[in-house]
Structure 1
Amino acid sequence: MIKAGENGNDRSVTQTVRAQLALRDLVLRGELNPGERVSELQMVERLGVSRTPVRSALIRLEEEGLLEAIPSGGFSVKTFSEKEVFEAIEIRGTLEGLAARLAAERGVSRAEIRNAANCLEAIDELMRRDTTDIDLSRYVELNAHFHEILVGMADSQALARQLERASALPFASPSALVPVQSRSPEMNYILSVAQDQHHCVLAAIERREGARAEAIMREHARIAHRNLERALTNQRDMDLVPGSVLIKRRIRA
């Protein structure tokens, strides 16, 4: 039975989530320009919701790193240098490496190993079935799931929170740059290397090899670096990078 007031709370939560999603979409699609000031009142009018959910959305996007507070009040849309984007990916890889090491050193259950192995088997099957035209949307879904399982194995809420923050930047998440690979003649090779690293890190965790598990996941993030380097030299590829409108590219000769 729903108690009095619960419907109001549910509506408030729904409005807050809706405001967060809508505001994030405006930023990532470039409808709010990098560096543009974003005020609470402005977003109330634009999103069509009340001030409380808008305020929560603004604070949430600041926490995610997409907005930054400005001294005069309000927020501005953040811009990122190429160096900052590479660093964001490196930070995510470092944290995932720590998660793998903690999982290996603390030990994980057979059920957790089986769960991760099932996910990898699904990726293997996908890659075997579609050798010439891999379903990237399904791959991205399974890849994200495996990374989530890995973080869960570490059994650290503090680390999970930091990883959630690091991965909130759209170009730094584990699958963010996979679409760039779709235009590379080496796509299948790169996906095979990434999948082999998945299998190797799971084996290292199962064998309690913490240092090896950590090193594999840090190296795994380098695939994203490689995809980013490719995208930065080709506008068509850059258009596939989530949040690319926020990246200030340096002038190349």
Structure 2
Amino acid sequence: MIKKENLNHKKAIAVLSGGLDSAVATAFYAKEYDIHAITFDYGQKAAKKEIQVSKEICEALNIKHTVMDLKWLGQISNSALTTDKPIPEIENNKLDDTKTCTSTADKVWVPGRNIVFTSIATSFAEAEHAEIIIVGWDKEEAATFPDNSKEFLEKYNQMLKEGSPQNITVKAPAIDLSKKEIVQLGQKYNAPMNLSYSCYKGNNKHCGVCESCMRRKRAFKEAQISDPTDYEQ
């Protein structure tokens, strides 16, 4: 792989799960920054697949990629993502039902996940003198995941002003967007959405029935953009 030439030498750290949101967010800044993407293995069922696709996304964007072992996080978690508990499934007509989605969010919640991820990314940013940390937080998931919210973003950035000697800012280009709008943004910035993987289950194909898959399906359909995803159902 030929190392890309970055004339302005601005550096960024990206928290890249390999999912749709983080892939689009990373691609959004790929031409402006020299990005070092980090993928976390916290013992999640989809870890192997997420690492694989994250590597492919980084190759497509010609950026550096590091995998961090955080299996301790999965070991202290009671989440369906990291235990033998079944991954919750949801029907399309329930995706905007707050009660239903709060229940599924509780079942897949991993303790302090985005706090841990972003804190580690901060360490990388300080060490590498990066100006920004790129995350895929978005409005749709913020409805049931508080660590995806605009309020969380603003408060984390306020903490950085107080706690870091460097001028680092967390950037979330999808913070005000729905999944449909994220797909539209991804098309605009030529994000490798075809390589991204959103499924909670970790199979080779997207299951097509977990909440993450259902939101992905709906996003492409509502955006009227061809869905490149291979679903089991």
**TM bracket, shorter-chain basis:** under 0.3
Normalising by structure 1, we get a TM-score of 0.23
Higher helix fraction (1 or 2): 1
- Which has the larger strand fraction? 2
